[in-house]
Amino acid sequence: MKLTSPEFENNGFIPKKFTCQGEDINPALVINGIPDAAKSIALVVDDPDAPMGMWVHWVVYDIPVVSRIEEDSIPGKEGMNDFGRKDYGGPCPPSGTHRYFFKVYALDAELNPEEGLTRRDLEKAMQDHILAKAELIGLYKKH
pLDDT in tens, 4-51: 999 999 999 999 999 999 999 999 999 999 999 999 999 999 999 999
Q: What is the pLDDT of residue 47?
A: 98
The rounded radius of gyration (Å) of the Cα atoms in the chain is: 14
**Confidence tier at 133 by pLDDT (50, 70, 90):** very high
- Number of structural domains (the chain) is 1
| Residue 55, domain extent | 2-140
Mean pLDDT of the region 57-67: 97
Helices (H) and strands (E) in the chain, counts: 1, 9
Distance of CA 62 to the CA centre of its chain: 13
Please tell me the distance from the alpha carbon of residue 60 to that of residue 39, in angstroms, as a whole number: 15
Mean pLDDT of the region 136-140: 98
Total-model pTM: 0.97
Mean pLDDT of the chain: 97
Q: What is the CATH number of the domain that holds 107?
A: 3.90.280.10
% pLDDT > 90, the chain: 96
Query: Are 22 and 90 in contact, with CB atoms under 8 Å apart?
Result: yes
The count of other CB atoms within 10 Å of the CB of residue 45 is 26
